[in-house]
Every structure is written in C-alpha cells, then in structure tokens.
C-alpha cells in the first residue's frame, strides 16, 4: 500500500523562504564571492534553488559525509566525497545542508572545513530539528525550525524514496 504523506511545508512557502535566505546571504557577503559546499545527497535540491536566487559570485563544491553508529552513543563521521584543501583555504565557505538533526554530521564536517583555513565558515540548512540535538550545534542560516518528525521531500529521503517531492512532508 502506498504511504500517506502529510504536507508540512508547502512548495510556495519553501520558495518564499529560500528567496529571503538568498537575500540575507547576498547582503551579508556583499563584495565577496562565496563557495557553497553542498552536502550530498539531500541538500542539492535546496542548494540549487538557493544558488539561483543569490547574486554574489558563487562557486559550487560537493561533499558527502557518512555516519556510522558504533556501540558507543557517539556516531563517527567519515567523508565519502572529500574536496581538495585549495577549495577551502582563504575562501568564504557556506556549508549547505538539508536538515540539522543530532548535529553530529555538521559538527564533524565543520571541524574538517575549519582545519583547512577558510576565510570564513558558515552553515545554511533548509531545516533545523533543534530538539533532536545530541551535540551542541547552531546553524547560521536556517530555513525552517521543525519538530522531531521524520520528514521527506525537497531532497530529503526515506530509504532513498521521496527526494523529488516538491514540498516537505511527513510519512504517515
């Protein structure tokens, strides 16, 4: 039987919010160029929409982190797709993510990026599930703060399904 998806954030609302984020980032990075580090796979839908609405010069890079839950409660993050140091050093870097959940992935990715000496480093996430944090982590640009429901769509998957939904939904 097909899953039922309840719309949590409709497409029009996402579009409006992405325009606002792009405008805010544009004004805060005026006169600079920005390198967007898109975390695969989920954030690419959001990152493309954001990039198209930004007017400062941008460069796009892609990273992929994989998390493994060990026997301890601290997940280990490894990079499945990494980038050369010269894509980061001296650059104004914004990591673009789909959702911040426990905070483990971004805390690790941000440390890895920081070690490569960017001129500046920020995190932009479409969604923030703040109440799910296991490690302390704050994003700099957040589209929407949501509760602890598992969400799909706009790049987010459930077992690789539903990434292409044009809205954010909850599987019921």
Residue ranges in contact with ligand IMP by CB under 6 A: 42, 67, 97-106, 150-151, 156
φ, ψ of residue 113 to 5 degrees: the values are -70, -45
For ligand IMP, give the closer residue by CB, 42 or 143. 42
Compute CA distances 158 → 42, 46, 152, 172, whole Å. 11, 17, 6, 12
Scan residues 74-103 and list those touching Mg ion (CB under 5 A).
98
If phi > 0 it is left, if psi is from -120 to 50 it is alpha, else beta; for residue 154 that is left
Per CB under 5 A, 42 contacts Mg ion: yes
Place of tokens 């690419």: 44
CB of 164 to ligand IMP, least distance (A): 14
Q: Which is nearer to ligand IMP, 44 or 87 (CB)?
A: 44
| Shortest Cβ 119–ligand IMP spacing (Å) | 25
CA distances from 42 to 3, 65, 112 (A): 20, 11, 20
Q: Choose among ligand IMP, Mg ion, none what residue 63 binds, the Cβ cut-off being 5 to 8 Å by kind.
A: none
Where do contacts with Mg ion occur on this chain (CB under 5 A)? 42, 98
């Amino acid at each position: 039987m097909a899953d039922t998806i309840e719309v949590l954030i409709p497409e029009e609302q996402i579009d409006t919010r992405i325009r606002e984020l792009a405008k805010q980032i544009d004004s805060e990075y005026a006169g600079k160029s920005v390198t967007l580090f898109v975390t695969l796979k989920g954030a690419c839908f959001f990152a493309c929409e954001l990039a198209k609405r930004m007017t400062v010069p941008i460069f796009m890079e892609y990273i992929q982190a994989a998390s493994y839950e060990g026997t301890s409660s601290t997940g280990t993050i490894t990079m499945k797709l990494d980038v050369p140091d010269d894509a980061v050093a001296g650059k104004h870097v914004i990591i673009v993510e789909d959702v911040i959940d426990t905070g483990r992935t971004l805390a690790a990715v941000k440390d890895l990026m920081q070690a490569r000496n960017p001129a500046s480093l920020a995190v932009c996430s479409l969604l923030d599930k703040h109440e799910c944090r296991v490690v302390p982590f704050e994003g700099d640009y957040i589209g929407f703060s949501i509760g602890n429901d598992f969400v799909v769509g706009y790049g987010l998957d459930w077992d690789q399904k539903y990434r292409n939904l044009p809205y954010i939904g909850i599987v019921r």
